[in-house]
Structure 1
Amino acid sequence: MSESVQQSRQKYRGSKFWEGRLKLSTSCTECHRRKQKCDQQQPCRQCARRYPQPECIYRDVKIPANKREHPSTTVIATPLVRKPALESVGVEEVTETKGATISIATLHQFDTAEGYQQMLSSMVSQLQCNTLSDHQVDQDTASPNLRAKFTWEGGSNNSESQWQLQKSRRKKSSVSPHDIAISSVDPLHFLGITPTTQNAGLLHAFINIITKYVFSIDGKPGPNHYNDVWIPWAMKSPLLAYLGIFSSACYQAEAQRSSPENAALALGYKTKSLRLLNEMLSDPKLATSNEAIGAVVNIMITEWYWNNHEVVKQHMEGLVQIIKLKGGLDELGPGHCLREMILTTDYCLCVTYDWEPLFEHLVKDPSEYPVHISIPFIDPPSSFVEIASQLKISKETAIILDDMRFLFKTTVHQLDGDVSGLEKAKIASTSTWIQQRISDMPDGSQGPLLVQDFIYKSCRIAALVYCNAIVSHIPLSKACSLTDLNQLWAVMWQVKLSRWKQIPGIFLFIMLAAAPAAQHTPHGRFLKNMMKATALSMMLDSWEVVDKSMYTYVNLQRWLRRGSEVAMGSSTPKALEFLHFYRI
């Protein structure tokens, strides 16, 4: 090689063009392929913002000391290290409070937080004796009969075709995603979970069926933060993805008329999820992340559905401590979806177990809100009689709702301060008069109009339950008898869910009357699900209405407890003896 050629190459290597090539060669393979700027993090910003997230692989560039030879490159498949998922939505990890800064490392200084982690470890140890191992959970252990239990969206059962499609994809699992077209890659490769047919089917059920009923009564949600932002973000987390699969496994066990407490597959996913959560809580950087908080809320809701009272209480205490370390509910980042979901869940647990809310916050009186979410627990701009035509309810229904609104207001007023004996007697006589007035109204068994007015019948039964509790000064769980519960259950589901969706405030008023008494019954889980979904759907229109209404209901429970203290215990979950196909 001539000296002139060597001099020209040496001159080129010292120029800015050579520096640019070095910088390009130190980029990850994905940024190099797309010709984008790489910040050389793990994963880099460009890879972290993509969904599904590709593997962020770097070349190890070795430059000889004499700089006379071409640089040799060695491709190293760096393991994918996930940063906290909350970073992708711009939530900071630094937790500050007014006047003080809380260090995440102080997590181990709180006995309750340590106790929560010990509880998770103990729970995992107990479950391992009766459940499938992680290896068995991630295998396709489901039989064709199990797979046929789920009916996918659209009304057709195509689980067998899904099974064959996923089975064919498994043959390609050993191929690197960078060596084949993205259209032929199983998405589960990028979600942090084992890509098996079983996982794919259960995750499909969670995303396309279960999540549709979180913020919607009839499974047809409008634009909302949970379905549009939270779920796509949460599925990037292996922990939250496995929790979604765990929820689907519980519903699958229910569809097979078996309790999730006895279903090996559901318990196997539960064990795996708890182990992942415990590992996350042991990491100071992830212990107070939105990912960990969302996971605790998810587990708690699932346990609440199947009435595991003691387990729910332990998860709730752990969540309270994590929120304290985070700095409070206001430190959960931009948007209020997670904060309001936690508060709504707290209220729902109070309704079921008749205890006090654990998260203190400022409850504001709603000023203006849409007419269709009107509810008897708050003072409205107009009475129900005045807006009956807008709500498309009968005059008799409106009268009952107005009477109950007046009764709630006068009863809860007794909690505001000292009430004289004369005022107590006046309230007692008023309660008795309203109870008698509603009892004298037609029960709907006669008359051409009231026979088919199932909304009126439902409101009348629920109102009598409330009146019985207030007049007798007993908890709602005792005031609602089994006869009342069966009558209400038979009547309220004669109304389509699409119709209840038009009047969610009245629907919530009815369900709150029966929820405490229904928790030990098989169809109590459906009431819990609908109660939470109705409250969250109303939250999209006005959080203040939901917050004030549930706060008033909790105050009513507190007043009823003064006369009779009832310990709400746990019960063994029972499988549904039938599958209730409600009217959409």
Structure 2
Amino acid sequence: MPSSQAKVLSKSTLYKLLSHHPIASRPKPPLVVDVREGPYSHLNPASIQDALYYLEDERSPTSSATSPSTSVATSATQPRTDLWLPYKIHSSPNGDDDDTIRQSVWTITARSTATAKLNYSKERVTEILGSQDYDERYNIIPPVDGSAVQLEYLPMKPTKLNKELVRIHLQLLSRFKCAVDGNPDPANEFMNFWIPCTLQDPLLLQIVLFTSSCWLSETRHFSKALQYAHKHQVYRMLNSQLTDQQAQTSDTLVLGVVQMIADSWYWGATHDLKAHLSGLRGMITLRGGLSQLGLRGYLAKMVLIHDIVMALAHEIKPSMYGHPGFEFRDSRAMPFNTAFNTPFISNWQSFKECSNSLQLHPSTAQILDDMRGLFSAILALPRNPSSEHVQRVLSTAQWFHERILNLPEDTPALQSPRPSHSSRASSVESPGSSAGSLRTDKSSSPSLLPDIMYRVIRKVALIYCKAILNRSPISSACSEEDIQVLWLSIWKSGLATWKSVLGIFAWVMIALVTNCHKIGPGRLIKTLTMSTMMSIGMENWDVFNHIAKTSFRLQRWLAGGRDDTNDLMGGEKVVDKYGFGMIDALPPVDIPADVESSEDI
């Protein structure tokens, strides 16, 4: 527990201490426009300025001087931008965002992981476990709940290894929290709440260290000893706060448990996942419901989104969503966003009508409209439908299935050569249209461009039709072989492509995630599904709520009243078996023999 001395420090004493901190006199951060390139381009500079300065304090002058992208201030009135651009991440010459993302992941992994490996070899796990007394000195910072205090320093033991783990969080892992393609808007309101919270609070920062260590263990850059050491620290801090009546239902503790639920689902043991989920239910009940949580409703959304995505992935009932005592409403009315158009929502603009704005081939739009009609027919069934009602739905599914099956595997030829009917192909030629662009040479003839989105949507539609015709769970209609083919197609078409059609992508991922729990890419599929739903839910809760309701009703109908045999499952065994699902996206990371003189470390 923190010392009594630390607890009674007055605000004036605290501010006096902070005023002598070296960060207090540092210049203002550069403007967002100045940091559009680089590993921090997805973050708001003002939100994490002090934390980044703290991380970069021990950068060697030689390393900074040799970087072609650095810009060190020459006076106290000029902003230092070298910490925002420790290395250059160039835009792809053909405007291909996905090439840039892949190169960014490669570069960040090579630099940060090499440095982390070096520091790990020096500091070792025993020092991490021996940092208990040191960490608790930092608990004098006011809680994050409603606090406007800017980040002044990181509440952790300032080892070089810990700093590299935070860098991996900021530069890489945080990118996919609420953005499918790893490129969130620096002005994203949720990210500007979440990132400072994870760095300011001691518990949340320890969870950041744990999450980064999980990823390094998954990529085989580290042994699991580091992961277990940070897990021990997280559990120690969790238990300490859970026994404190003032802290046991705080926003930061709830946020920490939600993150541990995600980490357990991705990398942890099943019993840990269930324990965290059960504990979260109890904390929210003690708090008085989801509506009592802070962070402008974002915390309540995080709780429900994680609960919903995991339940859909395992085709089970959610733990909180739809249960008494866990109601949540977002009163904010958001305008219609065409990118959120999805077959899960009836009575919206047809995909044929918005095919140009979404850059869909006419056949792709027709498939999506057919699937919307089929889902609507199922939703329209009475609670106890007659055999005639059910047969009518099955006949519709059979007709759609045969029509889609008769379509070619690749994009059919267009009946009309007019550009307005060739939305996706023409968009590649148009300089003013970038959303959903294919990873293809723009000099290619539009008629020769492959439409991988069409292939994916056609195959997923056949999976849904098969499940409906057999009235069996989606997981039984979506084989592991199907998932492997679809996953490679999704990756090949580029994540930026799917970010431009998030409503469609949610429909795709909900099918894939039901049967991904025992295959190599499973962790990445789960992460992308969560990221997709977070992106939609944080921006427009009404749309997300409709997607969730339709998905659960469809799964219940497909179950046909049969008892659920599925259950939640942590990802530890599968990750231990397969490692990182896209190993070709990572560079080999070796520590140079002459580590002390290496400028890359």
The TM-score normalised by the length of structure 2 is 0.65
8 Å CA contact 1:189–1:195 kept in 2: the answer is no
Is 1:352–2:350 an aligned residue pair? no
What is the rounded CA distance, in whole Å, between the counterparts of 1:390 and 1:445 in structure 2? 18
| Structure 1 range deviating more: 321-330 or 402-411 | 402-411
Alpha-carbon displacement from aligned partner over 1:30-76 (angstroms, at most 9, x marks no partner):
xxxxxxxxxx9634178479989969xxxxxxxxxxxxxxxxxxxxx
What is the rounded CA distance, in whole Å, between the counterparts of 2:352 and 2:151 in structure 1? 54
8 Å CA contact 2:394–2:469 kept in 1: the answer is yes
Partner SS, residue 520 of structure 2: coil
What is the rounded CA distance, in whole Å, between the counterparts of 1:556 and 1:51 in structure 2? 56
Q: What does residue 510 of structure 2 align with?
A: 512
| Structure 1 range deviating more: 291-300 or 46-55 | 46-55
Instruction: Report percent identity of matched pairs.
Output: 28
Structure 2 counterpart of 1:441, which letter? Answer: L
Alpha-carbon displacement from aligned partner over 1:99-144 (angstroms, at most 9, x marks no partner):
xxxxxxxxxxxxxxxxxxxxxxxxxxxxxxxxxxxxxxxxxxxxxx
Q: What does residue 501 of structure 2 align with?
A: 503
Is 1:576–2:579 an aligned residue pair? yes
Unaligned 5+ residue runs, structure 2?
Answer: 1-6, 23-46, 48-103, 128-133, 139-149, 414-445, 587-601
Unaligned 5+ residue runs, structure 1?
Answer: 1-39, 56-88, 90-149, 178-186
8 Å CA contact 2:151–2:196 kept in 1: the answer is no
Q: What does residue 403 of structure 1 align with?
A: 370
Residues 41 and 199 of structure 1: CA distance in aligned 2, closer, same or farther (over 3 Å)? same
Residues 201 and 318 of structure 1: CA distance in aligned 2, closer, same or farther (over 3 Å)? same
Q: What does residue 522 of structure 1 align with?
A: 520
What is the rounded CA distance, in whole Å, between the counterparts of 2:353 and 2:543 in structure 1? 19
Which of 535, 546, 549 is 1:548 aligned to? 546
Q: What does residue 28 of structure 1 align with?
A: none
Structure 1 counterpart of 2:207, which letter? Answer: L
Is 1:453–2:456 an aligned residue pair? no
Which of 282, 288, 291 is 2:243 aligned to? 282
Structure 2 counterpart of 1:212, which letter? Answer: R
The residue correspondences of 1:241-280 to structure 2 (distance < 5 A) are 241-256=205-220, 263-280=224-241
Shift of 1:502: 1.1
Shift of 1:581: 5.2
What is the rounded CA distance, in whole Å, between the counterparts of 2:512 and 2:201 in structure 1? 37
What is the rounded CA distance, in whole Å, between the counterparts of 1:497 and 1:561 in structure 2? 32
What is the rounded CA distance, in whole Å, between the counterparts of 1:230 and 1:45 in structure 2? 28
Structure 1 counterpart of 2:352, which letter? Answer: V
Is 1:429–2:395 an aligned residue pair? yes
What is the rounded CA distance, in whole Å, between the counterparts of 1:466 and 1:309 in structure 2? 28
Which of 532, 535, 546 is 2:533 aligned to? 535
The residue correspondences of 1:178-197 to structure 2 (distance < 5 A) are 190-197=153-160
Alpha-carbon displacement from aligned partner over 1:158-192 (angstroms, at most 9, x marks no partner):
66678999999x9xxx9x99xxxxxxxxx999422
The TM-score normalised by the length of structure 1 is 0.67
Residues 502 and 445 of structure 1: CA distance in aligned 2, closer, same or farther (over 3 Å)? closer
Alignment: residue pair count: 433
Shift of 1:226: 3.3
Partner SS, residue 380 of structure 2: helix
What is the rounded CA distance, in whole Å, between the counterparts of 2:486 and 2:274 in structure 1? 29
Partner SS, residue 425 of structure 1: helix
What is the rounded CA distance, in whole Å, between the counterparts of 2:319 and 2:14 in structure 1? 39
Shift of 1:579: 3.2
What is the rounded CA distance, in whole Å, between the counterparts of 1:51 and 1:413 in structure 2? 62
8 Å CA contact 1:257–1:576 kept in 2: the answer is no
| Structure 1 range deviating more: 213-222 or 439-448 | 439-448
Which of 552, 556, 559 is 2:557 aligned to? 559
Structure 2 counterpart of 1:220, which letter? Answer: N
Q: What does residue 353 of structure 2 align with?
A: 386
Structure 2 counterpart of 1:357, which letter? Answer: P
Is 1:338–2:299 an aligned residue pair? yes
Q: What does residue 111 of structure 2 align with?
A: 157
8 Å CA contact 1:370–1:541 kept in 2: the answer is no
Residues 540 and 48 of structure 1: CA distance in aligned 2, closer, same or farther (over 3 Å)? farther
Is 1:207–2:167 an aligned residue pair? no
Is 1:306–2:304 an aligned residue pair? no
What is the rounded CA distance, in whole Å, between the counterparts of 2:194 and 2:18 in structure 1? 13
Is 1:474–2:472 an aligned residue pair? yes
Which of 404, 407, 423 is 1:438 aligned to? 404
What is the rounded CA distance, in whole Å, between the counterparts of 1:46 and 1:543 in structure 2? 43
Residues 404 and 219 of structure 1: CA distance in aligned 2, closer, same or farther (over 3 Å)? same
When Rg is computed on C-alpha atoms for both structures, the one with the higher figure is 1
Shift of 1:355: 1.6
8 Å CA contact 2:119–2:161 kept in 1: the answer is no
The residue correspondences of 1:365-380 to structure 2 (distance < 5 A) are 368-380=335-347
Residues 368 and 160 of structure 1: CA distance in aligned 2, closer, same or farther (over 3 Å)? closer
Structure 2 counterpart of 1:192, which letter? Answer: P
Alpha-carbon displacement from aligned partner over 1:352-373 (angstroms, at most 9, x marks no partner):
2222122233679988521111
Residues 49 and 352 of structure 1: CA distance in aligned 2, closer, same or farther (over 3 Å)? farther
Partner SS, residue 191 of structure 1: coil
